[in-house]
Amino acid sequence: MRKVIDNLKIDKTLLFSILTLLVLGIVIFLSASLGILPNNELKFFIIIKSQLLYVFVFGLSALFIGSKINYKYYKKYSIIIFALSLIFSLLVFIPALNFYYNGAHRWINIFGLSIQPSEVLKFSSISLVAFFCAKYSKKFSNLKIGLLPISIFIVVVSGILLLQPDFGTLLVILLSSFLVFFVGGAKWRDIIILGVTGILVFLLLITFRPYMKERILTFLEPGREILGSGYQLNQSLIAVGSGQMFGRGIGQSIQKFNYLPEQISDSIFAVYAEEMGFVGSIILITLFIFIILRGVNISKYTEDNYGKLLAIGITSIFFFQAVLNIASAIGVAPLTGVPLPLISKGGTSFVFLMFQFGVLLNISKYKMEV
C-alpha cells in the first residue's frame, strides 16, 4: 500500500545535476563570449558581469525561493496568476515601456532592467493547464468542458505572442501545455482535433508571415541564401562540423570570431560543439537527458494530480527548449530563437527557469512510499 510522505527533503540528485549544468554553462558562456572581446572589450565585460549577476544572484535566489514555496499555492491561485501574466505580457505593446529589438516587441524596460514577460507566461500556462486537468479530467468527454476551454487558452496565448512576435516562446508553451493536457487525461478526439488544427494554422502562418516562411525554406534548403537568410544556419553547421570527434579545445572556436551570429545565445551550442566535438556534445546532451528523466521520476512518484502534471510541465519546458535549440544548431529544425536552457545569455529566461526548477524541487519533497 502506498502512503504519501512529506520528508521535507528535496531531490538532491536533481539539485546537484542543475548546479552541475549551471557551472558547465558558465564555462561554455565565458568561452563563447570571447568572440566579442576583439571587437568590443567594454561590451564583453558588461555581458560577463551581467551573466554572472543573473546566475549567482538572481538565478540562485529564484531557485531557493521556488523550492521554499509550497507548490500547492500555485494550484489555488493558478487562474489569477495566469490572468496577471497575460496583463504583464500586454505591457510590451505600451510604447513608454517596451523597446524594439530585431523586429520584435518582446521586452519591457523597468528601472533599467530589460524583462521578457512571456517567460512568466510559460510557468503560468502550464500551471493553469495542470489545474484544469487535475480538476476536470473526468468530464473531458464533454466538449464544453474539455476541448473548448483548452482551445480558448491556445487562442489567447497565441494571439498575444504572435503579435510580438515571439514564435519560439509560443512553440515551447503550446508543446508543453499540449503534453500536460495529454498526460492529464485528454481524449484522443481532442488531441486529433487540436493537432490537425495546429498544422493548418501553422501552414497559414508561414503563408502570411514572410520571416517564418524564409526560415522554413532555409531549413529545407540550407544552401540557399548563404550570405542572407541561410547565413546563421550555414555558419552553425560549419562550427559543429569543425569540432569533429573531440573538438578544437575549450576557448579555441574559430566560428565565434566574426562568423557565427548570436554566438552567446541562439548559436551557443554550435560554439560548444566546435570546441568540445562530438564526445563533448554527447556528454552535455546526456546531462540534459538525466535532468529530464529526474523530472519525470518526480512526476511519477507525486500522488497529487496537480503536482504530477506541474512537474511534467516544468520538465517539458526544459526539454522542448533544449531540443529546439540543439536541433536548430545542427540543422534538423528551423531556427526559432529559443535559448539553450541555463547556458545561453538570458536574464528573464534564465531566472524564471531557475524558479521553475525550484518549484520542481519543492514538488520532490512530497513523495509516495511504495
pLDDT at 95: 75
Residues 72 and 307 sit within 8 Å (Cβ to Cβ): yes
- The angle subtended at Cα 100 by Cα 94 and Cα 105, nearest 5°, is 60
Does the residue 145 lie in any domain? yes
Does 58 share its domain with 94?
A: no
Domain tally, the chain: 2
Identify the pLDDT of residue 370.
46
Q: Say what the pLDDT of residue 232 is.
A: 85
Domain boundary among 143, 178, 208: 208
Does a structural domain hold residue 370?
yes
Does residue 102 sit within a domain? yes
289 and 338 share one domain: yes
Residue 165 lies inside a defined structural domain of this protein: yes
Residue 187 shares a structural domain with residue 237: no
Nearest C-alpha neighbor of 358 from the set 26, 94, 58: 58
Q: Are residues 283 and 199 in the same domain?
A: no
Per-block average pLDDT, block size 10, for the chain (370 residues)?
A: 55 95 95 90 90 92 95 94 93 75 69 81 96 91 89 93 87 95 93 91 81 75 70 88 92 88 90 95 97 96 94 97 93 86 88 96 78
Measure the CA–CA gap between 34 and 266, rounded to whole angstroms.
Answer: 16
- Whether 216 is in a domain gets the answer no
Amino acid identity of 363? I
Among 175, 208, 241, the domain-final residue is: 208
Do 170 and 124 sit in the same domain of this protein?
yes
Assess whether 55 and 170 both reside in one domain.
no
Q: What is the pLDDT of residue 205?
A: 82
Please give the pLDDT value at position 4: 45
Q: Are residues 36 and 80 in the same domain?
A: no
33 and 91 in a single domain? The answer is: no
Domain end (from 178, 208, 238): 208
Q: Is residue 243 a part of any domain in this protein?
A: yes
Residues 55 and 87 in one domain: no
Give the angle 116-17-3 at the CA atoms, nearest 5°: 100
Other C-beta atoms lying within 10 Å of the C-beta of residue 52: 14
Cα(365)–Cα(362) distance, integer angstroms = 5
62 and 176 fall within a common domain: no
Is 213 within a domain? no
**Same domain assignment for residues 202 and 264:** no
Query: Which residues contact residue 56 at a Cβ distance below 8 angstroms, ignoring those fewer than 6 apart?
Result: none
Nearest alpha carbon to residue 194 among 228, 235, 146, 226: 146
In terms of pTM, does the model score above 0.85? yes
Domain interval for residue 38: 1-68+228-370
164: its cell numbers: 510580438
Contacts 24+ apart (CB under 8 A), 49-56: 50/347, 51/26, 51/345, 52/26, 54/346, 54/347, 54/350, 54/351, 55/22, 55/25, 55/26, 55/350
**How close are the terminal C-alpha atoms of the chain, in Å?**
6
Output the nine-digit C-alpha cell for 221: 534548403
Whether residues 271 and 319 fall in one domain: yes
pLDDT of residue 116: 85
Can you give the pLDDT at residue 114?
78
Is 186 within the bounds of a domain? yes
